[in-house]
Amino acid sequence: MGTTTQPDAVPEPKYWHLKTVLSDALDSEFEVGEILPNERDLAARFGVARATLRQALEQLELEGRLQRRRGVGTTVAPPRFGVDVGAGVHVWPGAPDDAWQTGECEETVPPRAVAALLDAAADGDEVHSVRRTRMTHGQPVATELLYVPRSSVPGLPAETLEEPSGGSARGRAVLRELWRLELQGQERTVELGSARADDARQLDRLPGAPVLVVTTRYVAQGTTVAVGVSTYRADTCRLTFADRMPEPQAAAAESTPSERERAHGGRHRTGARLSRR
Amino acid sequence: MGTTTQPDAVPEPKYWHLKTVLSDALDSEFEVGEILPNERDLAARFGVARATLRQALEQLELEGRLQRRRGVGTTVAPPRFGVDVGAGVHVWPGAPDDAWQTGECEETVPPRAVAALLDAAADGDEVHSVRRTRMTHGQPVATELLYVPRSSVPGLPAETLEEPSGGSARGRAVLRELWRLELQGQERTVELGSARADDARQLDRLPGAPVLVVTTRYVAQGTTVAVGVSTYRADTCRLTFADRMPEPQAAAAESTPSERERAHGGRHRTGARLSRR
DNA sequence: TCCTCCGATTGGTCTTGACCAACTCTTATG
DNA sequence: CATAAGAGTTGGTCAAGACCAATCGGAGGA
């Protein structure tokens, strides 16, 4: 019972089939930013329960194809934008308005996992910490917590800590400006996580939203002098890492910033099958 | 209504509260590999509908804390293991049995997104492609598709293509051995995706399972000569990137391979509150 | 003109109940 | 003793319905 009408080999889940149908429709019949019919209508139109429809929508949202907001509706999300995370050169076109916003410095006890990475801090020790937020395309895409054990920066006047550079800067630049740390290198890990309540609020997402957690270990003099934990919105970001990339000649200029090709194909025609009414 | 008994500020969703309760229980009362009570029991025990319980379990599975298998049960997952992805040195303890398994070379039309990255292939062109699988800790953690346009390796005897190195090797090593390509550098992007049916099968997961998609762009002579698309299980893997990391003296030897600390704290006591019966 | 309030709309949460599919273990059978 | 057939267990899918919470827009009042 479907449109493909296979013999009946493996009964594909309804929501899975629904997802592919919607996905195709998204490509062919909708514009970015366009608003879909509401869930109750869609469910009725496909002859499924709302829960089933929602299962498909959830998948699509996870893939960054949709954006849902309570009280508003479900809209077609723009393609993910590349967010440079590596230490190397910018290669993928970065957003023109990509900027970090640095908060105030505090004294906190870092999470256990962070403490384990810091050579100079025992479990339970308080360390300096700064919260930062990364804005791109007019929206927050990441929050970061930077942890610097006191012993990494002994005898630093509190003044310096209260007055950060105030503007955009890469993590290592902040470490230099705030604490005059000169780094030798860094090491990063990326993993999937779900947003904690505080991070979710800053990212304008609901708690539990999928995020990419980037843990950076800053190294100087052979020891880990700082650790940064960045939380990126997984639905809108594609992290890019470049290590000693020679500037590509032609390929780099192939398209303008924001509107990059999507992960697995993506065109934007127009039509009117699923459109309103 | 809850255990925390806040005044009643923001009514925390039930499944969210449930998730934290379960998460704590996982830390304090269960061993890795232990099997939880079944969903119907758990739901009854917490006085919620099974659907609600499942919402909490889904979150925990997404975070890599649980593993669920139909017909078997829900088990406590081991901590994520770090999987080295960068071009640099191994720093995080890699698994002793980490190995790539290279398949046969075929001729395929790469997905549009890949073609867009390949300088030497127009949309629709066939290119060489090799499927590879990465095994770690006795299970498949990633599948990869390597795309090499013919013009990158003109006039290569088919023999070479049919007989890969047969064993473990990093991506660039494969490119060298298979096609004698010497690379200048590479660039990677990481994004969240959901497993396609074929990848899911290879990863022993259900279609739609969350994966980390690593797209690697191999560069030689200033052009992109190959593109690799790796699909990592997001629930079991933590990708690590190291660029010119100086070997840390003490910190590197702090713990033995597999059993690393978990992302946000994690100890393993024993108890018996939720345990069977 | 500006503001506030209220109601309609939309996605988010939760319940109950049912059946399906993968798996394990027991039991019957050769 | 090995194998096959069932039965029972467990997670996966689906339905139908109810209510909650965020949002937006218009009506009404200052």
More confident residue, A32 or B103: A32
Q: For residue B8, what pLDDT band results from cuts at 50, 70 and 90?
A: very low
Residue A69 Cβ under 7 A from any strand D atom: yes
A55 CB-to-strand D distance under 7 Å: yes
Range with the poorest average pLDDT among A176-180, B33-37, B130-134: A176-180
pLDDT in tens, A225-235: 889 999 999 99
> Taking CA atoms, what residue in B is nearest to A190?
B239
* Residue B163 confidence (pLDDT): 46
Average per-residue pLDDT for chain A: 77
The answer on pLDDT for B211 being more than 90 is yes
* Residue showing tokens 């499944």: B15
Tell me the count of A-B CB pairs closer than 8 A.
Answer: 182
* Min distance B269 CA to chain A CA atoms (Å): 16
Query: Does any strand C atom come closer than 7 Å to the Cβ of A38?
Result: yes
Whether A213 has its CB under 8 Å from any CB of chain B: the answer is: yes
Contact A249 B222 (CB under 8 A): yes
Q: Name the nucleotide with the smallest C1'–CA separation from B49.
A: C15
C-alpha span between A61 and A68 (Å, rounded): 8
Instruction: Answer whether B60 touches A (CB < 8 Å).
Output: no
In the predicted structure, residue B93 carries a pLDDT above the cut 70: no
Q: For chain C, which bases have at least one atom within 7 A of a protein Cβ?
A: 8-18, 20-24
Cβ neighbour number for residue A101 with a 10 Å cutoff: 16
Answer yes or no: do A63 and B193 touch at CB < 8 A: yes
Closest partner CB to B185 (pick from A240, A243, A251): A243
Question: Residue B68, CA: closest nucleotide via C1'?
Answer: D11
Angle B118-B119-B120 from CA coordinates, rounded to 5°: 95
Task: Pick out the nucleotide with least CA–C1' distance to A206.
Answer: C12
B136, HSE (Cβ side, Cα atoms, 13 Å): 22
Q: In A, which residues are within 8 Å of B234 by CB distance?
A: 191-192
- Average pLDDT of each block of 10 consecutive residues along chain A (277 residues)? 41 92 95 96 97 96 94 94 67 61 83 86 82 85 90 60 50 68 80 91 89 90 87 92 52 36 36 44
Q: For residue A206, what pLDDT is reported?
A: 86
Q: Which residues of A touch B17 (CB under 8 A)?
A: none
Q: In Å, what is the CA distance from A147 to each residue of A131, A180, A215, B110?
A: 9, 15, 11, 43
User: Mean pLDDT of all residues in chain B?
Assistant: 77
For residue A146, the distance in angstroms to the closest alpha carbon of chain B comes to: 15
CA atoms within a 13 Å half-sphere pointing along the CA-CB vector of A117: 30
Nearest CA distance, B243 vs chain A (angstrom): 6
> What's residue B210's pLDDT?
93
Could you give the CA distance from residue B107 to residue A166 in angstroms, rounded to a whole number? 53
Task: Say what the pLDDT of residue A195 is.
Answer: 92
For B222-232, the pLDDT digits (tens) are: 788 889 999 99
Closest CA to B18 of A59, B69, B50: B50
| Contact: B210, A212; criterion CB under 8 Å | no
Q: Which of A119, A241, A244 to mutate to test the interface with B (most CBs of B within 10 A)?
A: A241
- Cα–Cα nearest to B103, from B155, B50, B140, B60: B140
The residue of A170, A192, A235 whose CB has the most chain B CBs within 10 angstroms, and thus the best one to mutate to test that interface, is A192
What distance lies between CA B202 and its chain's CA centroid? 12
Please list every residue in chain B whose beta carbon sits closer than 8 Å to the beta carbon of residue A185: 243-246
Burial of A190 (0-12, 13-18, 19+ CB in 10 A): buried
Q: How many CA atoms lie within 13 A of B271 on its CB side?
A: 12
> Can you tell me the distance from the alpha carbon of A171 to that of A190, in angstroms, rounded to the nearest whole number?
16
B261: contact with A, CB 8 A cutoff = yes
Domains located in chain A, CATH noted: 14-76 (1.10.10.10), 81-242 (3.40.1410.10)
CA A142/CA A84 separation, integer angstroms: 12
Q: What are phi and psi of A77, to 5 degrees?
A: -80, 150
Cβ contact A51 with chain C strand, < 7 A: yes
Residue B110 CA to nucleotide D22 C1', Å?
A: 43
What distance in Å separates residue B119's CA from the closest CA in chain A?
A: 7
CA atoms within 13 A on the CB side of A144: 28
Span B168-190, pLDDT tens digits:
456 667 666 666 777 777 888 99
d(CA B210, CA A36): 25
Q: How far apart are the first and last CA of chain B?
A: 26
Q: Give the minimum alpha-carbon distance from A159 to chain B in angstroms, rounded to a whole number.
A: 31
Confidence at residue A214, expressed as pLDDT on a 0 to 100 scale:
93
Round the CA-based radius of gyration of chain B to a whole number and report it.
22
d(CA A231, CA A213) in angstroms, rounded, equals: 5
Three-class secondary structure assignment of B109-152: CCCHHHHHHCCCCCCCCCEEEEEEEEEECCEEEEEEEEEEEHHH
Mean pLDDT lowest among A39-43, B93-97, B132-136: B93-97
Give the amino acid at B162.
E
Residues of A in contact with B61 (CB under 8 A): none
pLDDT of residue A178: 66
Element (DSSP H or E) covering residue A158: helix A158-162
SS3 B35: strand
pLDDT at A192: 95
Helix residue spans in chain B (DSSP H): 14-29, 39-46, 50-62, 112-117, 158-162, 171-179, 197-202
Across the interface, of A113, A184, A190, the residue whose CB is closest to B261 is: A113
Both tokens assigned to B105: 């070379």
